[in-house]
Structure formats: C-alpha cells, structure tokens
Amino acid sequence: MKLRLLSKKLFKRLFLFSIVSLIYCNQTYSAGAAARNESSVNRMIIHADKGAEQISRNIYGHFSEHLGRCIYEGFWVGEDSPIPNTRGIRNDVVEALKKIKVPVLRWPGGCFADEYHWMDGIGPKEKRPSMINTHWGGVTENNHFGTHEFLDLCEQLGCEPYICGNVGSGTIQEMQQWVEYITFDGKSPMADLRRANGREEPWKVTFWAVGNENWGCGGGMTPEHYANLYRQFATYLRNFSDNRLYKVACGPSGGDYRWTEVLMREAGGGRRSRMNGLALHYYCGSGSRSRSATQFDEIDWFEQLRRALQIDELITEHSKIMDQYDPSKRVALLVDEWGAWHNVEPGTNRGFLYQQNSLRDALVAGVSLNIFNNHCDRVKMANIAQIVNVLQAMILTKGEQMIVTPTYHVFEMYKVHHDATLLPIDLQSTDYRFGNNSIPAVNVSASKDDSGTIHISLCNLDPGNAAEVRCALEGADPKGISGRILTAEAMTAHNTFENPNVVKPVTFSDYKLEGNILTTTLPSKSVVVLEIK
Ligand code: AHR
C-alpha cells in the first residue's frame, strides 16, 4: 500500500517534472500555436488558478444574410405557410437554435448590406418595393423580411441583434434615421413611423456596423477613404433614449495588415475614438484540388485544417497593430465573418452558397472557437457564416424538413464556454504530418465557469491516429469528470435528410483523473469536451 502511494507520488513528480522540462527547455506555448513535441504524447498544463479574461458569449455569434435560402425558407416562410411558424418565422429552426444559445445575430449582410435600403423593408408587405439581389444570384428580393421581422426573430431566439448599415450605396441620413426608427422612444418622425407600423416601444440595438467589406463588395474603397467615411458616419449614429451603440468599423480581409494600420491610426486610437470594434473576415477552403464539402481525400482534410489554424496568426498580427494604437484594448477585434467555404452542392444555384457540412467542418469550428477563446482579451465577438442553408451552416432545410449539422453540435458542446473565465494553457502538441508538411495534432482551450467547473475543449486533427494527452491541472482540486465526443468513422461523414444523425455527440469516457493529473486518449478526427468539477 505504502509502496503504491509512494510510486503514485513519484509518478506524479516525474510527470510534472517532464512536462515542465519539456516546455521550458524547448518552447513555451500559450493561447494559440502549439509548440512542437517529438514524443508521441501531447502534454499540457492548465493553469486553473490563473484565469483573468472572460470569454465573451458573443464569440459564439452568428450571421444571417439575404443570400440564397438563409432568410427566405431558412427563417422566413410567411404567416400563411403550412410550415409551423410564429409571425412567419419557422418554429423548428428557432427551437433548434435556442438549444445552442445563439448570443448575437448579424444582419442583413454581408455584401447585401451595402445595397440594402431599410425603408423598403417596413410597412405593409404588399406595398414594399422589390429589388434585385445583385450579389447573390440576381434574384428578386421582395423585402418581406425587414427590420420588424429581424428584430422579432432576435426576440424569439433570445439573442442580441447586430445590424450592418449601408455605407457603399447609402447615405448618412439613411443610416441615422434607421437608428432613430429602431431606438428612439420619444416623439419624432422616425419613431412615429415605427409606431404607425405597429411597434410602440423602441427596440434595444447595441451592435451596429458601419458598412461591410468596404474594401470590396461594399464600395471598393481604400482604407484612407473608408476611415474618413467611418468617422463621418459614426458621428451621426446617435445614442437615443437609453440605447448605447457599440460601433463597428469594417476591418481587414485576412492578412491585409495595412487596412488595420490605417483604420486604427485614423479612427481607432485616442480618447475621442468613435470605434468600439474592428471587423476581421476570414474564410478557409481546402485549396485547389477537391473543393467538395463531402467528397474529399486526406490532402483536402489536411489543407482545410491547416488553413483554419491560420486564423491564429492573423489575430495575433492584427492585435499587435491594434496594441500600438490602443494598448488598453478599448477597441475589440470582431471576427464577424468566418468559416469553411466549399463548392455549392451539385445542382444548386452557385450564387446561393448552399454547401453540405461534414466532420471536417466540425473540426474547423472546434479549432476556430478554441483560437477565439484563447484570444478573448482582444476578440469579443465572432460570427460564423452563416446560420442556415448558407456556407458553414448550423441548420439545413428542405421544404418542411430540417437537419442540424456537425458544426451545430460543436456550438452546442462548446456553449459551456459562454462568459466563462479563460484558463491559460501551456501545450506541447505532437505533429499531424501529411506529406512533407505538418500541423499540431491537438488544439485546445479551457475555461472555468461561475460555479468553478472547468471545461476543456480538445480537437484531434489527425484523421488516422488517436492522440494521448497528459495534462496537469495546476491549482485545481478536481473531484469528478465527465465528457462528450463528436466523431465518426469517415472523415467525410455528414448528416442528410435521409440520415440526420450520422454525426452527433455521445458520451466519452476514455480518461483518467488521478489527483490533478488528467490523462485521456482522443480518438482520431474528434472533438471532445471534458467537464471537471
Ligand atoms: O458570407 C458570404 C459573403 O462573404 C458576405 O456577403 C461577404 O461579406 C463575404 O465576402
């Protein structure tokens, strides 16, 4: 008995010593890129007593655009539809989304936002003018889903609205009046118009973006030109009544560091800055070979995940620029469009961006959310593109049918991180090698919630090998552990209308907790969330 105790102690000491020496003799990792590890075991220390930053629930935000079947069919079926709905918004989709606790929803675009004139989307539906949705398939937009319908949707979901105003083809007056229409509680032309359209009380809207991708579809502007426009538009976005706007500037595409530099210099820094957030966009595909969402080989798997991991470097580099102008981190980086972008499903409109969603997409979501968590000192919101039927969707619909995707399940499993305190991690990951290239096999983030419960979300990116993880939970006194896993036999596994439960989370129990030493084996190509009480 004594000997067993002794050897346990000895093992613990040796283990901690080997972790510490491995980390400090080689490379130290925190919040993002894993250090290389030549051994076959992934080693990490979670500093359970050193949490300082809160993971904003808005990192788990979403995006809905007038694009393809996202708004129409995805949410909006109209009051007279045989599909069960509440004031025209389908009930099954709302119910499913409530389970992942959508915190914030961005609307109406995307590229559509800089062509959208909000006054066309209010008042009696039969009198609303139509327009052509030139960005997305050239289809006719009847404006039946407008401001009232969007804010009703947010109320049904229990989430905050995030509205993107039109800079590219709109005016300052138009944007100013939109804010007045929605948020002013006194007597004014716009507030009275809102009342005439059936809404007595103003709504609360905090998050407001001044244009979308104004370097591209939102006007093809230079950063200098847009920075001036931003200052001008932001000046007239008023805080009516007790509503307080959080103003978001169009940020860079991927690695356009000059855009960030100019925006921060001209409009982001200083005490009189009118900017609360700068919006970064980053999409990842699988490269030039196969770009199908469901028919791919390991090269596509590897390439997709390699590209997904690059968001870590992008956030790090943009943050460094922001630090120069805003060292107190008053301006947040919002990744308000991100996700996997594949080919459209065969036989569907190319302009509708309807794609399937496989286990590979679940891994993209898992690593991206871990990276956002680990950067939560600067990243205060992220909005995956898009919520229903477009790009890396949570939900796919076909007529009255609805299925949830592997990505949906990751958002459901990770909701334990909402508003929890980020725990710093030192990780030494093994490599997942493919050909002459390699990426870290294991990707992780951890948090502690208000009740003291620790959650660790771990991804094993390697589709062919399990990953053994040894972890010291420093400063913790764990009493119990449980887990859930999302994985499947095939890399390409996905849910269909015929087989909706091919990829779904199940209980995971391949772990051991001895004192504060946790060991676990992550199956190949898996997302695991552990709960430690
Ligand atoms: O999400 C699809 C499109 O991608 C958005 O409309 C645009 O902002 C981005 O280029």
C-alpha dist (Å) from residue 39 to 2, 16, 18, 425, 430: 31, 16, 11, 19, 7
Atom of ligand 1 nearest to the CA of 353: 2
Mean pLDDT for 284-312 is 89
Q: Which residue did the predictor score with more confidence, 23 or 330?
A: 330
C-alpha dist (Å) from residue 410 to 102, 116, 157, 370, 506: 13, 32, 19, 11, 12
**Are the CB atoms for 370 and 326 separated by under 8 Å?**
no
The total number of residues shown for the chain amounts to 533
Strands (E) across 61-126 are located at: 61-63, 85-86, 89-90, 104-107
**pLDDT the model gives residue 285:** 84
Atom of ligand 1 nearest to the CA of 216: 10
**pLDDT the model gives residue 269:** 75
Residue 133 Cα to ligand 1 middle (Å): 13
What is the separation, in whole angstroms, between the first and last Cα of the chain?
28
**pLDDT the model gives residue 398:** 98
C-beta of 277 in contact with ligand 1 (< 6 A): no
Amino acid at 239: N
What stretches of 26-159 show up as alpha helix (H) in DSSP?
91-98, 147-157
Tally helices (H) and strands (E) across the chain: 10, 28
C-beta of 180 in contact with ligand 1 (< 6 A): no
Q: Cα(429)–Cα(43) distance, rounded to whole angstroms?
A: 7
The kind and range of the H/E element at 507 are: strand 506-507
Residue 514 Cα to ligand 1 middle (Å): 48
**pLDDT the model gives residue 426:** 98
110: exposed, middle or buried (C-beta count within 10 Å: 0-12, 13-18, 19+)?
A: buried
**Are the CB atoms for 387 and 70 separated by under 8 Å?**
yes
Q: Cα(306)–Cα(462) distance, rounded to whole angstroms?
A: 11
DSSP bridge pairs for 141? 131
Ligand 1 pocket test, candidate residues 162, 217, 389, 392, most atoms within 8 A of CB:
217
Residue 110 Cα to ligand 1 middle (Å): 5
Residue 430, sorted as left (phi over 0), alpha (psi -120 to 50) or beta, turns out to be beta
Residue 46 Cα to ligand 1 middle (Å): 37
Residue 431 Cα to ligand 1 middle (Å): 33
Ligand 1 pocket test, candidate residues 63, 253, 281, most atoms within 8 A of CB:
281
Q: Cα(529)–Cα(445) distance, rounded to whole angstroms?
A: 10
DSSP bridge pairs for 384? 62, 338
List, for residues 67-117, the tens digit of each pLDDT value: 999 999 999 999 999 999 999 999 999 999 999 999 999 999 999 999 999
Residue 111 Cα to ligand 1 middle (Å): 6
List, for residues 448-496, the tens digit of each pLDDT value: 999 999 999 999 999 999 999 999 999 999 999 999 999 999 999 999 9
Residue minimizing CA distance to atom 3 of ligand 1? 110
Question: Which of 134, 166, 133, 172 lies closest to 147, judged by CA?
Answer: 166
Residue minimizing CA distance to atom 5 of ligand 1? 110
Which residue reads 């005016």 in tokens? 171
Residue 65 Cα to ligand 1 middle (Å): 9
Mean pLDDT for 219-243 is 96
List, for residues 257-291, the tens digit of each pLDDT value: 999 999 999 999 766 678 999 999 999 987 755 58
Q: Which residue did the predictor score with more confidence, 456 or 38?
A: 456
Residue 36 has pLDDT above 90, yes or no: no
Strands (E) across 317-466 are located at: 332-340, 379-385, 395-398, 401-404, 421-422, 425-429, 431-434, 437-440, 442-448, 454-460
Strands (E) across 227-361 are located at: 246-253, 277-284, 332-340
List, for residues 146-170, the tens digit of each pLDDT value: 999 999 999 999 999 999 999 999 9
Residue 145 has pLDDT above 70, yes or no: yes
C-beta of 402 in contact with ligand 1 (< 6 A): no
C-beta of 213 in contact with ligand 1 (< 6 A): yes
C-beta of 385 in contact with ligand 1 (< 6 A): yes
Q: Cα(210)–Cα(186) distance, rounded to whole angstroms?
A: 25
List, for residues 377-417, the tens digit of each pLDDT value: 999 999 999 999 999 999 999 999 999 999 999 999 999 99
On average, the pLDDT of the chain sits at: 93
Q: Cα(425)–Cα(418) distance, rounded to whole angstroms?
A: 18
Atom of ligand 1 nearest to the CA of 109: 6
Atom of ligand 1 nearest to the CA of 283: 4
**pLDDT the model gives residue 134:** 95
C-beta of 383 in contact with ligand 1 (< 6 A): no
Residue 2 has pLDDT above 80, yes or no: no
Residues labelled catalytic? 213, 337
Q: Three-state SS string across 339-372, please? A: EECCCCCCCCCHHHCCCCCEHHHHHHHHHHHHHH
